[in-house]
């Protein structure tokens, strides 16, 4: 039995589908998800006690250093990975408070999948429907890889408009983001960190499955149609 062109095309389609499903939607890079301060923020000097940044760190990427600078500083301040994180303050599903959403959070969701709250921990029910289910698992996966870095503000603050910059040194290069915020002596409401909707894969997944299914069907059909060669 010889493989014909249809079998090869079918196998190729399945490989493309699997590769596309596992491929990141964008270039591999460290992404700035959110920060404090953020551009356009107006904050009282009394409330400006910490700077933080949320990074989306790809697998197998090492962060060498995270730094912050603004126009009231002479140089940069180094940020360190957050510890003792509380969900109400940082707004990510970090169950053990180590400053990152990683394999621990994923394994905890899997452990309680299908259980009602209680006995499952309330924090694991991210959509507050009374049960830890696949929707909670999807929510955790969307934040997977996000790590928080923080630094205490212990320098002299000057009211006024400030330019700021966050800089990250990593094993795949250097990344920066910048903006401006206003420091005031007034008491103002400070909203939580702006947090965008995590990456939407509603297009990526169906396309991947289309290639995989189409390739599988074509391969099976081709093999079925191939008849053994008869020897004279």
3-state secondary structure of 65: strand
Number of DSSP helices (H) and strands (E) in the chain, helices first: 5, 8
0.75 exceeded by the pTM? Answer: no
Does some domain include residue 224? yes
Q: Which of 22-31, 34-43, 196-205 has the least mean pLDDT?
A: 196-205
Is 203 a residue whose pLDDT tops 60? no
Does some domain include residue 232? yes
Does some domain include residue 17? yes
Is 1 a residue whose pLDDT tops 50? no
For residue 109, the model assigns a pLDDT of: 83
Q: Omega of the bond prior to 119 within 30 degrees of 0, cis?
A: yes
Does some domain include residue 59? no
DSSP symbols for 175-232:
EEEEEEEEEESS----PPPP-PPPPP-TTHHHHHHHHHHHHHHHHHHHHHH--PPPP-
Residues forming beta bridges with residue 69, ordered by sequence position: 165
Range of the domain at 231: 1-25+201-232
Q: Could you read off the pLDDT of 131-162 as tens digits, one per residue? A: 888 888 887 887 888 888 998 888 888 889 99
Domain count, the chain: 1
For residue 205, the model assigns a pLDDT of: 47
Does some domain include residue 227? yes
Does some domain include residue 48? no
Using pLDDT thresholds of 50, 70 and 90, give the confidence band for residue 225: low
Does some domain include residue 51? no
Q: Helices 134-142 and 103-112 sit at what angle, rounded to 10 degrees?
A: 180
Does some domain include residue 9? yes
């Amino acid at each position: 039995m010889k493989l014909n062109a249809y079998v090869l095309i079918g196998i190729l389609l399945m490989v493309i589908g699997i590769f596309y499903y596992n491929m990141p939607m964008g270039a591999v890079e460290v992404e700035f998800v959110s920060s404090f301060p953020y551009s356009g923020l107006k904050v009282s000097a009394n409330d400006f006690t910490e700077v933080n940044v949320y990074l989306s760190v790809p697998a197998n990427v090492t962060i060498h250093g995270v730094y912050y600078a603004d126009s009231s500083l002479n140089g940069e301040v180094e940020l360190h990975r957050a510890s003792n994180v509380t969900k109400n303050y940082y707004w990510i599903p970090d169950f053990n408070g180590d400053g990152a959403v990683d394999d621990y959070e994923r394994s905890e969701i899997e452990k309680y999948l299908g259980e009602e709250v209680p006995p499952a921990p309330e924090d694991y029910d991210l959509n507050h429907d009374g049960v830890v289910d696949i929707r909670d698992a999807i929510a955790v996966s969307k934040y997977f890889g996000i790590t928080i870095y923080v630094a205490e503000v212990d320098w002299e603050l000057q009211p006024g408009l400030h330019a700021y910059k966050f800089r990250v040194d990593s094993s795949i290069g250097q990344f920066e983001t910048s903006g401006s915020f206003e420091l005031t002596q007034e008491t103002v409401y400070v909203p939580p960190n702006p947090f965008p909707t995590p990456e939407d894969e509603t297009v990526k997944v169906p396309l991947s499955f289309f290639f995989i299914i189409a390739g599988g069907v074509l391969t099976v059909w081709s093999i079925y149609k191939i008849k053994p060669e008869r020897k004279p």
